[in-house]
């Protein structure tokens, strides 16, 4: 018995090494599974405050650009308001109030972002105190950015679109054919559109927008433009490469969208035994 203990003691560094590696691998797996609760991440209050200070300093250098995009977007919104405020030439039909309030929007600032890894995340400066919830969609004026993964009181962590684990339900704007956008982990400017059948006439230059099927994003938020369509290896689906419209290296301010009816939709799916995989 003593000799066994002595033997184990002589191996102590190796055993400790194996133990810690297993622990680390367990953490990696639990962090990357979609349902797994993330124990440690940058939504922690202390870590969030460090990241926020860093971003406060760095943001100082990008104010001019942020202002410019805001002005551009304001102009766009003004244009839309003008169109909406036109004198009606016919009797308007009031929309169902439940439908009108299906999506709620809020804004936040990105205090930390990465784009060089295969699993990229971003940290936002708002949390459950401001009404953020896991599962909300994140986008900015150019296109979609990602999805909220976990929320603390003051901060939230989102999965970036540049994360090989995130699928976004999308469609080709002109032909209405839908598929899923998924990042292939290569360039931070390009992603793949999956599950588009071979008979679809997709062309380079077509716009890809969100389809609104997965109840995270409303319909019609830009994702990107098709850069090339190849026949690919898969016998059923086209191999479509898209240029993302969001420049992930300068995502500063983002909007968040919440589907207020997601609980109802989900329970309906469960009741009718539909697996919504998009």
Partner 1 sequence: MNFKNFITYTLLLLFLGLIQIIFLKNLALFGVAFCFLYLLGILNLPIPISHVPLILISFGLGLAVDIFYDTIGIHAASATLMSFLRPYWLKAISPTGGYDDSAKPNLPEMGIVWYMSYSLPLIFAFSLVFFTADQWGTGGFFGVLNKSFLSSIFTVILAIIVQLLFFKRRREIR
The footprint of partner 1 (CB under 8 A) covers 12-14, 16-17, 20-21, 23-28, 31, 38-42, 44, 47, 50-51, 54, 112-119, 121, 123, 157, 164, 184-186, 188
Cβ count within 10 A of residue 37: 8
Tokens of 257: 């969208």
Q: Closer CB to partner 1, residue 146 or residue 212? A: 146
Is 245 in contact with 224 (CB distance < 8 Å)? yes
Q: Per DSSP, which regions of 40-97 are E strands? A: none
Structure token digits, residue 11: 């191996």
The least CB distance from residue 85 to partner 1, in Å, is 43
| Cβ closest to partner 1, residue 55 vs residue 140 | 55
- To partner 1, the closest distance from the beta carbon of 13 in angstroms equals 4
> Rounded to the nearest whole angstrom, what is the least distance from the CB of residue 117 to partner 1 in the complex?
5
The smaller minimum CB distance to partner 1, of residues 102 and 190, is found at 190
CA distances from 135 to 39, 52, 166, 278 (A): 17, 22, 12, 14
Q: State the Cα angle at 118 between 112 and 120, rounded to 5°.
A: 20
Q: For partner 1, which is the closer residue by CB, 52 or 171?
A: 52
Closest separation in Å from C-beta 211 to partner 1: 24
Question: Least distance (Å) from partner 1 to the CB of residue 149?
Answer: 9
CB 42 within 8 A of CB 122: no
CA trace torsion 36, 37, 42, 45 (10° rounding) = 170
Q: Are 130 and 11 in contact (CB under 8 A)?
A: no
Query: How far apart are alpha carbons 236 and 255 in whole angstroms?
Result: 36
Structure tokens at 61: 């250098």
Q: Tell me 237's DSSP state.
A: B
Q: Looking at beta carbons only, is 25 or 78 nearer to partner 1?
A: 25
Choose between 150 and 210: whose C-beta lies nearer to partner 1.
Answer: 150
Q: Which CB, 121 or 222, lies closer to partner 1?
A: 121
Per-residue b or e along 139-160, where b marks 16 or more CB atoms closer than 10 Å to that residue's CB: bbbbbbbbbbbbbbebbbbbbb
């Amino acid at each position: 018995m003593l000799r066994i203990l002595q033997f184990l003691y002589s191996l102590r560094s190796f055993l400790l090494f194996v133990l810690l590696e297993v622990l680390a691998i367990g953490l990696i797996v639990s962090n990357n599974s979609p349902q797994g609760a993330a124990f440690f991440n940058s939504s922690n209050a202390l870590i969030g405050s460090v990241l926020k200070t860093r971003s406060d300093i760095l943001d100082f250098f990008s104010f001019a650009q942020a202002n410019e995009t805001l002005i551009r977007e304001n102009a766009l919104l003004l244009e839309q308001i003008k169109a909406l405020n036109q004198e009606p030439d016919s009797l308007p039909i009031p929309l169902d109030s439940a439908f009108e309030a299906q999506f709620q929007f809020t804004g936040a600032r990105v205090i930390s972002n990465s784009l060089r890894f295969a699993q990229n995340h971003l940290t936002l400066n708002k949390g459950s105190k401001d009404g953020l919830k896991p599962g909300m969609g994140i986008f900015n004026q150019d296109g979609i950015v990602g999805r909220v993964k976990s929320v603390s009181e003051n901060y939230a962590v989102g999965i970036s679109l540049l994360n090989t684990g995130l699928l976004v339900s999308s469609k080709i704007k002109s032909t209405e054919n839908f598929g899923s956008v998924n990042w292939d982990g290569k360039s931070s400017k390009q992603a793949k559109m999956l599950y588009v059948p071979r008979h679809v006439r997709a062309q380079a230059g077509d716009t890809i927008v969100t389809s609104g099927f997965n109840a995270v994003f409303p319909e019609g938020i830009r994702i990107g433009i098709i850069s090339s369509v190849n026949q690919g290896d898969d016998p059923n689906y086209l191999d479509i490469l898209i240029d993302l419209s969001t420049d992930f290296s300068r995502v500063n301010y983002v909007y968040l969208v919440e589907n207020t009816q997601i609980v109802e939709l989900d329970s309906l799916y469960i009741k009718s035994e539909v697996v919504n995989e998009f």
